[in-house]
């Protein structure tokens, strides 16, 4: 009887440790997601930003106006969250294309700084509905990193 109680006590202790580990892993995952959400916090927008990510860098962006209009100019406000240092002497470039149709926009966007770390790409236009890929060329130390995000525009 004593042996059985010891086995039960050991099993409960092991399960308690396992449950604690699972709880800690869940908490760590939740904190990581919350930290990722902070990337778009500087946009001060009511809508959830889109995220483009590559090689440890992330760009959170929103359309102004939202939803994205068809055949009309709109702007993209965005914030860069990069693991590497973004070069201050080079401009971030923003473009878009339709991979299925093999063409891009008919206009070239210009990028300006709204405040430190927050930018606006002006003069974007999606001239037809469908799947568009937004392209950010981010100048880092020693290279340019391309981040993309596909959007379905109706």
Per-residue pLDDT of 9-25, as tens digits, reads 566 456 554 454 333 33
Q: What is the DSSP string of 21-81?
A: HHHHHHHHHHHHHHHHHGGGGGG--SSPPEEEEETTEEEEEEEESSSPPBSS-EEEEEEEE
User: How confident is the model at residue 100, as a pLDDT?
Assistant: 94
User: How confident is the model at residue 116, as a pLDDT?
Assistant: 83
Structural domains in the chain, sorted by start: 39-153 (2.60.40.1930)
The whole model's pTM is what? 0.73
Per-residue pLDDT of 48-106, as tens digits, reads 899 999 998 999 999 999 999 999 999 999 999 876 667 666 789 999 999 999 999 99
CB-based burial label for 62 (10 Å; 0-12, 13-18, 19+): buried
User: How confident is the model at residue 154, as a pLDDT?
Assistant: 93
Res. 2: pLDDT tops 90:
no
Beta bridge partners of 122: 110
Per-residue pLDDT of 96-129, as tens digits, reads 999 999 999 999 999 999 988 899 999 999 999 9
């Amino acid at each position: 009887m004593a042996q059985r109680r010891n086995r039960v006590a050991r099993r409960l202790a092991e399960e308690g440790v396992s449950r604690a580990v699972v709880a800690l892993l869940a908490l760590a995952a939740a904190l990581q997601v919350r930290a990722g959400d902070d990337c778009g916090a500087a946009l001060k927008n009511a809508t959830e930003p889109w995220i483009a990510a590559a090689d440890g860098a992330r760009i959170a962006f929103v359309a102004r106006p939202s939803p994205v209009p068809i055949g009309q100019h709109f702007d993209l406000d965005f914030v860069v969250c990069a693991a590497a240092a973004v070069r201050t002497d080079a401009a971030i470039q923003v473009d878009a294309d339709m991979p299925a149709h093999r063409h891009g926009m008919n206009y070239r966007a210009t990028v300006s700084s709204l405040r430190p770390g927050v930018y606006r790409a002006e003069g974007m236009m999606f001239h037809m509905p469908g799947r568009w890929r937004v392209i950010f060329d981010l100048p880092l130390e020693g290279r340019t990193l391309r981040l993309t995000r596909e959007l379905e525009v109706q």
